[in-house]
Each structure stands twice: as structure tokens, then as C-alpha cells.
Structure 1
Amino acid sequence: MPIQVDVAVLGGGPGGYTAAIRAAQEGKKVAIVEQGKLGGTCLHLGCIPSKALLRSAEVYASLLHADTYGIKLSREAVKVDFTAVQERKEGVVEQLHRGLRQLMKKHGIEVIQGRGRIIGPSIFSPKSGSLAVELEDGEMESVVSRHLIVATGSRPRQLPGLEADGETVLTSDDALRMETLPSSMLIAGGGVIGIEWASMLSDFGVRVTLVEAASRVLPGEDPDVSAAIAKALSARGVRILTGAMLQQESLSKDSGGISVAVRQGETEERLQADRLLVSVGRIANIEGIGLENTDIAVQDGWIKVKPTLQTAEPHIYAIGDVTGGVQLAHAAAHEGIAAVEHLLGLMPHPAAPHRIPRCVYSRPETASVGYTEEQARAAGHDPMTAKIPFAAIAKAIVHGDSEGFVKVVADRGTQDLLGVHMVGAHVTELIAEASLAQFLDAVPWEVGASFHPHPSLSEALGEAMLATLGKSVHF
């Protein structure tokens, strides 16, 4: 007999397991089908392991500059044990994995380990959307549900001529498994992943060259943010080439690493490095999941969904990376909740894509929510901006790292808060206040009038809000 549930979730990443928990909270019988480890890319090959490595790199860099704080350490006494760094990363991942498995037990969610595929209607389900699951031992299991949520995620995009081999040409997945640090790394792509790896590796002492096709790194962010990150990384020795393209068929490999030509305008040069990391976006995991057995539409490689997150088959939803859009774990989790609340007949709060916080965990960090100044103008607003440097904030000076700023974008006529953009230490912790302010439709004076403890980095946000009105106190 098949396993019969109210809600089946195909994929156990942040979107999938969050959806499962929300459905279980409402008393629904739920099953997750996951071919890998519960937690998906974020927990095992993305957000968490990369942040663990970034933290180790940050600590190492801080120790190398301990004399800034009156602590005397010889450079020879500070060494990187990369094996231990990787062991710590694995320990962090496993601790969170254990906690996630316990959450599934707590909510009575059945987790089926295997590869799931959507099949057509059966005697148990008049609608397509039932799942055939190939278990790890090769046996088959059937899952029949009233509703199905597809949350199969994405994987790194590869470039013809620069395909990953796991040794010298790497995806971000491969890079997380490195057993030793290279002496040099060439990174193709100056988006979030490329910037985080450039920051991490340079902190570990690796020579980094970063190539970005756009005119600036982090091209989706405010230009001031892009400029600040480029300046910070360049100051640490990272060579950044923008408006540049790797000549994909020019790659050569030998015992010394890789060599590839790069064209920047009319100039072409050949770059060499121990390894090449290709971080040029991601593609949806839609192969082999049975979409051909449904009426689900695929557009540009992504599952097409309605604002309700329903596919062309109303009882089948799709969430997270597999739909394209904002490819962030917290966006997928929000969509998981929204999909479940919609199938329950509730009124979920829709998330405007530009109001989803965006974070880069480099050194310094970046964090943004809402429109950039350019986007606000394109949307028909008359934007005004204010920017407060962390150098004006006591806690940043005490912290010993006062680079960066908080920039606020507001509408000149209505005073509406349109966007907040930050660069600096711990700004990924500060962006939630700006996100909440937008969610509640707060205007800058309301945020600025609320208490921001002294000394704290949050004062920069309060001061920037007041600065839109010309009322900043400390700058």
C-alpha cells in the first residue's frame, strides 16, 4: 500500500522542511522525500559550511592584526590548520543536521530517503502528483498526497569549456571539500558566492584574482556597496577585473594548475592559478522529477509558478530555487510557509522580491533590503538618500573595524522608506530592523526616533534615518 499523506514535499532543503513543519503545525499528515541529506544545499553545500569557513578566516585575519588591540602575537605563532578548519565546518553542519532531524520527529513528519518522481493519476489519487520513490536500497515506494510541494532546489551552473573536474576547476560545492588551501585561486564571477570566496581565501593568505563580466562586482547591489567591497578586497591584495570575460575554450591544465585567457575591452591576457572557481549562477534541479507527467510549465529552465506559488496544476506548488527568482534560503522558507497557508485556504502575506533582505558574508559584510537609488527612480519615485559612515559610530571604532556605511533611500515626497544598504562589520545582523521597518511601512523618522542603544552599531542605522531629514546628531 502507498504512503498516504495530506501534503508531500519533494526536497528537504530550507523551503521544503519549513513547508513541512508549517503543514504539520496545522495538523496535516506530512512526508518529505529527499534524495540527499535533510537540510539541502544550504545546510550541506552552501550557507552554513561556507559561513563556518568564513568565520575561521575572519578569526585568522583578526589574529594577524591583534596588535591593533594591544595584543602582541608573532606572525609565526599564528598558523592555519586547514584540516582542523574543515573538521570544525563539518562539526557545525552535523550539529545543525541532528537538530533538524529532531525537528522532524517533534512534528511527526515522515522523512523518506530516496529519489522522488512525480507520476500520473492512480486509483488512490485522481490527480497527477503522486510520487514514486526509489529508496536507497533500490526498492520502490509510493507516496500519494492531496497536495504536493516541489522544492528540489538548484545546483551550480557550469560553463562550456570550463566544466568542473573537482580538482583544478571547481564549483562552489567542490571548493567546500578542498583538503588543502591553494596558493592561488582564479574566481570567475563577482556575485555573492564569488565575493565570499574571494574574501575568505584572501584572509587565509591565498592570492586571488576575480573576474566579473559586469562593470562592477555585486552588480545587483547599490553602486556604493559594490565600490566599497571592491576597495576593501583590493586593499587586501585581491586583483579584480570587471568588464572582463574568460575565453572559455582557452583553458589549459597541467601539473602547475590552470591557465586561461581573459579579455577586458580590447586587451587580452593569460591568467594562471593553482585552481579555478566558477561561480556564475545556478540552475534548477528539474531533471528526472517527472515534470513530463504533469502540465507543469518550465520557463527558461525554471518551474513557472503563479503569485500563489501554484504551478499549472493547482494542487502542485513549487518553491525556492527551483522557480528562479530570489535564490536565498530565507526566501525559500518564506515561500514554503506561503504555499502551505494558501493550500490551507489562509491568506498568506506575499513577499515583494525587493523586500527580501540580501546579505553577503564577506569581510566587510554587506546587507541590503528594498530598492537601490537607481531602482527607486526606475520605479517612479523621487529618491533622496543619506549615508552615515561607521567611522562616526563609537562602537565601530571600539570594535576596531570602522570601514563601511549605512545608506538610506527614501521618497522625497511621501517620506516612504524605499531601501537600506549597508557595508561593514556585522551588518547582516542589522538589516532585520530595516526589513521590519519596511514590512510595517515605517518611515525614516519613526525608525530614527526609536531607541538605538549606545554604544552599538545599530546607531548608524538610526543616524542614517534621521539624516534623510537633516537631523542626524553625530554626523
Structure 2
Amino acid sequence: MSDTFDLIVVGGGPGGYVAALRASQLGMSVALVESTHFGGVCLNWGCIPTKALLRSSEIHHLLHELGTFGLSADNISFDLSKIVGRSRGIARRMGGGIAHLLKKAKVTTFDGRAKLAGRSGEAHQVAITRDGAAVATIKAPHVILATGARGRQLPGLETDGTLIWGAREAMTPKELPKRLLVIGSGAIGIEFASFYRNMGSEVTIAEVADRILIAEDPEISAAARKAFEKQGMKIITSAKVGPLNKGENEVSTTIESPTGKVDLTVDRVICAVGIVGNVEDLGLEGTKVQVERTHIVTDGFCRTGEPGIYAIGDVAGAPWLAHKASHEGILCVEKIAGRSPQPLHPLNIPGCTYSRPQIASVGLSEEKAVAAGHKVKVGRFPFIANGKAVAMGETDGMVKTVFDATSGELLGAHMIGAEVTEMIQGYVITRTGELTEAELVETVFPHPTISETMHEATLAAFDGPLHI
């Protein structure tokens, strides 16, 4: 086996394996180094298995709403071990699929940990070890670091795998906690809160900011809070969580907020308070690679300060999204290959939260658009005025659009409701293609679909909607 390649990719997550596949398509010889499993956190412990869990919880919820649809069922129950087993099986299946794709693309894979080991002429050397033992030293003129990130640990809130869970424990519960505290209300925290509430747990969410889902438009954030509280969740914002006092099989704590103190005892705690980049033991010392707040600094083409070293995905900073990592992998490789990709525009990256109801957005919020100096036109359309949403029994939701009043540019789009994570791509294409309200207005949306709300929300920003 040759020890020299055109490209070495460190990390086999959604950024790394996609970069390796694209490089192979472009005729490069590629080595991919992965220490754990192909697909990274996203496929094995994040995006995919959590959606399997959420799907089960959605069905469980619907089973208790059968009367609304003229149906009935007796003795509704669930087997948590089978729900978790299905989720883990899907992750294994998808991981095997990636291994097959890499083999088919003739990507040389190494099982181990990689570390930059200086230069050999024009090439970077990468030392690979497994369980502390040397496996190989390979070299290439280009190295992409795609090592991902891990959950942040805060003093006093450290996960222990038993009573205080991180994402992995939250995805593989042996029994359903009757009482659950979720610390953090980003997408990860909200999705776990939604799963466990749908399955019957009493859920409390504690968020240090003054509202949940801080990355979303405030109006959507408020709508989400209203929906979650209607489902029975207790939400405390501007919250300070005191020390977590662990008992034999429960955790007690005090949560302070502007509304007072709450003494809380729960069976389990999920900490979802952000992530930190995996930048340790990569051999960055002595290179010009810069690290800021645990993330590698890159330019618009994923280049670091060290020629020939690149970083993509979570290790390169926010937004920490699998589709951002994959896209960075592609544009990085195409730039290496001498093509002319466009830099990734952060405001064209959609964000999705797969709770009930779902939340999706792209671009600027109304608040940020105004702060940036835009004169805006804002449109809103509620799901309750959409025929398909009514027929589905999914009337909780809305679409909000923010346009530049002068140019008609779509500055941002914000959605909450059923299937909005599937619909947001229409607005992403609008922004990527630099289209205006004129093209959206003239677009024919199929009827009956929930996507018609996107058309109506555009009309609402200008001449007015037709159906309210």
C-alpha cells in the first residue's frame, strides 16, 4: 500500500466522508482516517438516530389522538427497548452504507487516530496510531481536518452517564424517566425534551438566555414556547441552575430566575449546553493553524493559516450542522482541485429543529435585519388558514418572511409547524439564487399542500395574502 496520497482527510463524519468521496470523484488519491465509526456523531449519535426516536414519539402521540380522526385503539403501550433498538439499528445500517460508498470510491481508510507530524518536502506527514501503537505514517500535500466536536461540560453540571446524561445516554435509556430536567434549549435540548414529553415524561427546560431557541426569530421562539407549554412542558428562562445534588436514583437542584426560586427533584438530567471542538492531539503545535475558543479559524474556502491544512465542519465553528460540514467538504475539495466553488454564505445555511412542532429558518430574523439597516417588509401566514394543515390536524404553526422593502431580497424566512424542515429548502434556494419576492409570487405551489403557506407569507409581505 502506498503511503503517499493527494489528500488526507482526518475524521469520517458528514464533512470528512463527503470530502473524501468528492475528492475521489475528481480523480484524487484519498486516505481517510477515522478512529471510531464512519458517519461521525451525526449518523451514529446525533442527526439520524434521534430522528428515529422522534418518529416513534410522534406516532405515540398520534395514537393518543386517534379519536380526532375517527379511529380508536385499546391498550396503547410501548416497548422502550424496541424503540431504542430501532434507532440503533438504523444508525448501524447507515454507517455500513458509508463504508460501502468509501470502498466503492476506492478511498483508502485507516482505523486509528491521526496527528500532524511535520513536513516531508511539499507534503504534510500524518502519523496514525491505534490504542497508543503506531499504525502508519502517510503523507499528502493537502490535509483536511474534520474531527468534529463534543458536548460542553460546565462545572457543577458534568454528565456522569447515569443520572446526568449527555446525548448518548439520552438516546439509549433503559427506562423512561418519569421526571426530566433538560438544561439548554438549543436544537439538541428541545428535541430531547420533545421526545421524552411525547413519551409521557414530565419535562422541565432550564435556559440561561431570556428565551428558548435563541438562534431563532423571537416571534418563532415565542410561538414554540407557547406550543411546548401547551403540551405540558415547564419552561424556565433567564435560569441559573444550582448544583446538581445526586441521590441514589434522582437529582435535586434549585433553579433561580426573575420569577423566583424553584426547588426541583427529577429522575434524570440532560445537559445540552453547547459543544467544543475536537482540536486536541492533532499536532497543531508548531503550525500556523489558529484556534479560537476551541475551534479552528478558516477562511471562506476552509483554509487555515497553514498552507495545505484545511478544516471543515464542527471543528471549524458555527453553525454546528451536518449539512454545513458536508457542503464545506465539497467546496474545500473543489478549491483544492482547481475548480471555482463559491464560498459558503452563513446566512444561506438552513437551521432545523425536529421537535413537535418542527422549527426551521434561514437568513436574518426581523430583529437582525432591522439592526443591519434594512427597511423591511414582513409577511406572516398561519397554518390554521391552510386546507392541508387543517385536514392533517396540524393547525399549530406559521410562516414568517422578511424582505428588503427596496430590493425585494428575501432577507430571512422563519417557520414553525408540521414538516417545515422539509419546506425550508424552498426559501434556501430563493436566497442562494438571489431571487426576489417577484419570483416567489410567480411560483406555482401545488394544492393542497402546507407549502402554500410559503406563498401566502410572501404575498402577505407585499400586496396581502389571499386566504386570510
User: Per the shorter chain, which TM-score range?
Assistant: over 0.9
Q: In structure 2, what residue type is equivalent to 1:359?
A: C
Percent identity reads 40
Contact 1:2 / 1:142 at 8 angstroms: preserved in 2? no
Per the alignment, residue 119 of structure 1 pairs with: 117
Q: Match of 1:5, SS?
A: coil
Where does 1:167-246 land on structure 2 (aligned, <5 Å)? 167-246=162-241
Contact 1:2 / 1:144 at 8 angstroms: preserved in 2? no
Per the alignment, residue 395 of structure 1 pairs with: 388
Q: In structure 1, what residue type is equivalent to 2:150?
A: R
Alignment equivalent of 2:78, drawn from 67, 77, 80: 80
Per the alignment, residue 100 of structure 1 pairs with: 98
**Partners of 2:224 and 2:40 in 1: CA distance:** 29
- Which deviates the most, 305-314 or 80-89? 305-314
Q: Match of 1:14, SS?
A: coil
Per the alignment, residue 140 of structure 1 pairs with: 135
CA RMSD of aligned residues (A): 1.4
Contact 1:284 / 1:322 at 8 angstroms: preserved in 2? yes
**TM-fit CA distance, 1:20:** 0.7
Contact 1:390 / 1:403 at 8 angstroms: preserved in 2? yes
Per the alignment, residue 52 of structure 2 pairs with: 52
**Partners of 2:155 and 2:443 in 1: CA distance:** 53
Per the alignment, residue 324 of structure 1 pairs with: 317
Q: Match of 1:38, SS?
A: coil
Per the alignment, residue 431 of structure 2 pairs with: 438
CA separation of 1:107 and 1:136: change in aligned 2, threshold 3 A: farther
Per the alignment, residue 348 of structure 1 pairs with: 341
Per the alignment, residue 372 of structure 1 pairs with: 365
User: 2:359 aligned with 1:361, yes or no?
Assistant: no
Contact 2:170 / 2:192 at 8 angstroms: preserved in 1? no
Q: Alpha-carbon deviations, 1:128-157, whole Å to 9, x = none?
A: x32111136934211111100000000000
**Partners of 1:14 and 1:112 in 2: CA distance:** 17
**Partners of 1:177 and 1:119 in 2: CA distance:** 38
**TM-fit CA distance, 1:269:** 2.6
**TM-fit CA distance, 1:268:** 2.4
**Partners of 2:160 and 2:112 in 1: CA distance:** 26
Structure 1 unaligned blocks of 5 or more? none
Contact 1:113 / 1:136 at 8 angstroms: preserved in 2? no
**Partners of 2:225 and 2:273 in 1: CA distance:** 18
**TM-fit CA distance, 1:58:** 0.4
**Partners of 1:243 and 1:440 in 2: CA distance:** 39
Q: Match of 2:48, SS?
A: helix
Q: Alpha-carbon deviations, 1:179-212, whole Å to 9, x = none?
A: 2211111011011111111111100000100000
Q: In structure 2, what residue type is equivalent to 1:325?
A: A
Contact 1:369 / 1:419 at 8 angstroms: preserved in 2? yes
| TM-score under structure 1 length normalisation | 0.96
Q: Match of 2:395, SS?
A: coil
Q: Alpha-carbon deviations, 1:148-172, whole Å to 9, x = none?
A: 0000000000111111110001111
Q: Match of 2:89, SS?
A: helix
**Partners of 2:395 and 2:146 in 1: CA distance:** 40
Q: Alpha-carbon deviations, 1:7-47, whole Å to 9, x = none?
A: 00000000101111111111000011000100001001111
Per the alignment, residue 274 of structure 1 pairs with: 267
**TM-fit CA distance, 1:293:** 4.2
Contact 1:359 / 1:367 at 8 angstroms: preserved in 2? yes
Q: Alpha-carbon deviations, 1:287-313, whole Å to 9, x = none?
A: 111111422111122111122211111
Q: Match of 2:318, SS?
A: coil
**TM-fit CA distance, 1:445:** 2.8
**Partners of 2:440 and 2:259 in 1: CA distance:** 49
**Partners of 2:412 and 2:71 in 1: CA distance:** 39
Per the alignment, residue 473 of structure 1 pairs with: 466
Q: In structure 2, what residue type is equivalent to 1:89?
A: S
User: 2:457 aligned with 1:464, yes or no?
Assistant: yes
Where does 1:290-329 land on structure 2 (aligned, <5 Å)? 290-329=283-322
**Partners of 2:252 and 2:35 in 1: CA distance:** 36
**Partners of 1:411 and 1:6 in 2: CA distance:** 45
Alignment equivalent of 1:338, drawn from 331, 334, 338: 331
Per the alignment, residue 407 of structure 2 pairs with: 414
- Which deviates the most, 4-13 or 86-95? 86-95
Where does 1:51-70 land on structure 2 (aligned, <5 Å)? 51-70=51-70
Contact 2:403 / 2:461 at 8 angstroms: preserved in 1? yes
**Partners of 1:218 and 1:346 in 2: CA distance:** 38
**Partners of 2:437 and 2:399 in 1: CA distance:** 13
Q: In structure 1, what residue type is equivalent to 2:356?
A: R
Contact 1:21 / 1:109 at 8 angstroms: preserved in 2? yes
Q: Match of 1:436, SS?
A: helix
| TM-score under structure 2 length normalisation | 0.98
Q: Match of 2:119, SS?
A: coil
**Partners of 1:279 and 1:240 in 2: CA distance:** 15
**TM-fit CA distance, 1:236:** 1.0
Contact 1:188 / 1:194 at 8 angstroms: preserved in 2? yes
Q: In structure 1, what residue type is equivalent to 2:34?
A: E
Q: Match of 1:269, SS?
A: strand
Q: Alpha-carbon deviations, 1:69-94, whole Å to 9, x = none?
A: 101123xx211210000111012112
**Partners of 1:390 and 1:448 in 2: CA distance:** 19
Contact 1:198 / 1:208 at 8 angstroms: preserved in 2? yes
Q: Match of 2:205, SS?
A: strand
Contact 1:445 / 1:469 at 8 angstroms: preserved in 2? no
**Partners of 2:147 and 2:114 in 1: CA distance:** 10
**Partners of 1:266 and 1:408 in 2: CA distance:** 33
Contact 1:60 / 1:203 at 8 angstroms: preserved in 2? yes
**Partners of 1:284 and 1:393 in 2: CA distance:** 43
**TM-fit CA distance, 1:449:** 1.6
Q: Match of 1:167, SS?
A: coil
- Which deviates the most, 338-347 or 50-59? 338-347
**Partners of 1:468 and 1:409 in 2: CA distance:** 8
Q: Match of 1:292, SS?
A: coil
**Partners of 1:112 and 1:367 in 2: CA distance:** 37
Q: Alpha-carbon deviations, 1:195-233, whole Å to 9, x = none?
A: 111111100000100000111000111011111111111
